[in-house]
Amino acid sequence: MHQNIGRRRTLVSIGTHDLSTLKPPFTYEAKDPKDIVFRPLNQTEVMDGHRMMEALSQHQQLKTYLPIIRDSPVYPVIFDSERTVCSVPPIINGEHSKITLDTKDVFIECTATDLTKCNIVVNTVVAMFAEYCEKPFLVEPVEVVYADDYPGNSFAKPGQKFVYPALESRNMEASIRKMKTSLSLDHLSEQDIQKLLNKMSVPCDIDKQDSNRLHVKVPITRSDIMHECDLVEDVAIAYGYNNLKLEVPMTFAGAAEQPVNHLSDLVRQEMAMAGYTECLNWALISNKENYDMMRHGKKEEDTARPHEYKMSLPSVSISNPKTKEFEIVRTSVLPGILKTLANNKELPPPIKLFEVGDVVVLEPTREVGCKNVRRLCAVYASMKTNFGMLHGALDQVMYSLNFEPEHEHKPDARKKRRTFKLVPSEDPAFFPGMQASIVAEGETIGVVGELHPDVLNSKGFNINMSVSAFEINLEPFLEWL
């Protein structure tokens, strides 16, 4: 429970105590480490919070969890009514309330930063313990009173009371016909499906009015059942995967590439034929690399100038990044290519690199709040400015995508090519007056220009060459081609 649902105790922490050694009610408080004095579980000395951290830093298992609260000015602690320390979650319990062979009443405490996961853990632990009670499955609930308002509390008011655990089963309905059809078990009756679910510890009843409708009571121990498809999986397990009959679907679907992947492969060929070497960089990146080193702010104004291409939009953040290098999902491909260039600058110039990959931008209309966008980015690095070479590669790619530069004279209708143009821009990552937005069919799809010296000389890149670059969005071409 700690490792999985509790995410290594960062979301949920569990403690079990001998209730006969404690006196309710219990309080959950935040105290200065020096004010928390107790004897930790299986330790020989009484110590405060600082000494506890020092002693447990050598513990093979518990040292992993110390960073969760070590740098906090206050530590969470649970007291009983006589100010006996029960535990310092999520690190360790106190020796005073240790469970022994003589324990008859077990007190379960669970602290969490996620209420949903807390309920799942409490229900599961209580159900497992209750099986071994003198009277099986007899549980005594606990009343939780929220004393004060605090940051992050959006579900309880001061003084509001809750009773935990909530052991009521959750009601849901399912279609028996859909379960049978999904697994090609049409020969089974409604009663057979009911028995299979009962074998998986899922109580259910067939509707008296509609024999196709199943009323399911999801028990507290089955938090994994969220949708009807989870019940289909349970039926398949109870029936036996090896007993399922293999059938060839009646529908025909020809295998084919996704259009965006097919387009990406064609663009890769064009760039490779132009003498550019392909890179493959991480989609995760640091805030510093995505914004600061590119001279971009973390939030750009929504009211951008006409034909202004935004490379660094607000990003999707990683909630628990393992390292500082992987804080967010990139909003531009260019920083990754510059990192590759910085690590290969000892190669003889010119160095020509490109990458076709996804960035992730926020999209409130999507269910997940964001979307992937396929982009092409290329750089040309040499000892002196040679923007014409990069511009030629851009023209070649656009020509292959059925676009040609827009001219003042009327284009030849026989060519049936779309047009694009370069419009002056003011992207901070590029040198002023030496950059332009790429506009195709009235839509800004990219930016091209000479990179600003402050970008190249930043501490992370430290590139001592002149670099030209362009980045374009390939998604619109799927509609134009």
Query: Distance (Å, rounded) from C-alpha 448 to C-alpha 410?
Result: 25
**Once rounded to an integer, what is the mean pLDDT over residues 241-249?**
85
Q: Half-sphere exposure of residue 454, counting CA atoms within 13 Å on the CB side?
A: 12
Q: Is the pLDDT of residue 307 over 80?
A: no
- SS3 category, 194: helix
| Count of beta carbons in the 10 Å neighbourhood of residue 233 | 16
Q: What is the pLDDT of residues 264-303, one digit of tens each?
A: 999 999 999 999 999 999 999 998 988 888 988 755 444 3
pTM summary value? 0.57
Q: What is the pLDDT of residues 127-163, one digit of tens each?
A: 999 999 989 988 999 999 987 666 556 667 777 888 9
Can 12-164 and 259-480 be said to share one CATH topology?
no
Query: Distance (Å, rounded) from C-alpha 380 to C-alpha 341?
Result: 10
**Once rounded to an integer, what is the mean pLDDT over residues 88-110?**
93
Q: Is the pLDDT of residue 336 over 70?
A: yes
- Checking DSSP bridges between strand 466-473 and strand 430-440, what pairing results, if any? unpaired
* Per-residue confidence (pLDDT) for residue 301, from 0 to 100: 44
Angle at 436 between CA 375 and CA 360, to 5 degrees: 25
Q: What is the pLDDT of residues 175-223, one digit of tens each?
A: 999 999 889 898 999 999 999 999 998 999 999 889 899 999 999 988 8
Fold of the CATH domain 259-480: BirA Bifunctional Protein; domain 2 (3.30.930)
**Once rounded to an integer, what is the mean pLDDT over residues 404-427?**
77
Higher pLDDT, residue 361 or 408: 361
Q: Is the pLDDT of residue 379 over 70?
A: yes
* Per-residue confidence (pLDDT) for residue 146, from 0 to 100: 84
pLDDT band at 28; cut points 50, 70, 90: very high
Query: Distance (Å, rounded) from C-alpha 428 to C-alpha 434?
Result: 11
The residue behind tokens 């293999």 is 246
C-alpha torsion angle, residues 152, 153, 154, 156 (rounded to 10): 180
pLDDT band at 248; cut points 50, 70, 90: confident
* Per-residue confidence (pLDDT) for residue 302, from 0 to 100: 42
* Per-residue confidence (pLDDT) for residue 417, from 0 to 100: 83
Q: What is the pLDDT of residues 32-87, one digit of tens each?
A: 999 999 999 999 999 999 999 999 998 988 999 999 999 999 999 999 999 999 99
Q: Is residue 49 a contact partner of residue 106, using CB atoms and an 8 Å limit?
A: no
Q: What is the pLDDT of residues 10-23, one digit of tens each?
A: 999 999 999 999 99
Q: Is the pLDDT of residue 27 over 70?
A: yes
The one-letter amino acid code at 104 reads: K
Angle at 265 between CA 262 and CA 270, to 5 degrees: 130
* Per-residue confidence (pLDDT) for residue 304, from 0 to 100: 44
**The domain 170-243 is classified under which CATH number: 3.30.56.10, 3.30.450.40, 3.30.230.70, 1.10.1740.10?**
3.30.56.10
pLDDT band at 357; cut points 50, 70, 90: very high
C-alpha torsion angle, residues 278, 283, 287, 292 (rounded to 10): 20
* Per-residue confidence (pLDDT) for residue 309, from 0 to 100: 65
pLDDT-wise least confident of 42-56, 245-259, 440-454: 245-259
* Per-residue confidence (pLDDT) for residue 436, from 0 to 100: 93
- The alpha carbon of residue 288 and the mean position of all alpha carbons in its chain are separated, in whole angstroms, by 20
Q: Is the pLDDT of residue 414 over 70?
A: no
So what's the architecture of 12-164 in CATH?
A: 3-Layer(bba) Sandwich (3.50)
Q: Where in the chain are the domains? A: 12-164, 170-243, 259-480
* Per-residue confidence (pLDDT) for residue 155, from 0 to 100: 67
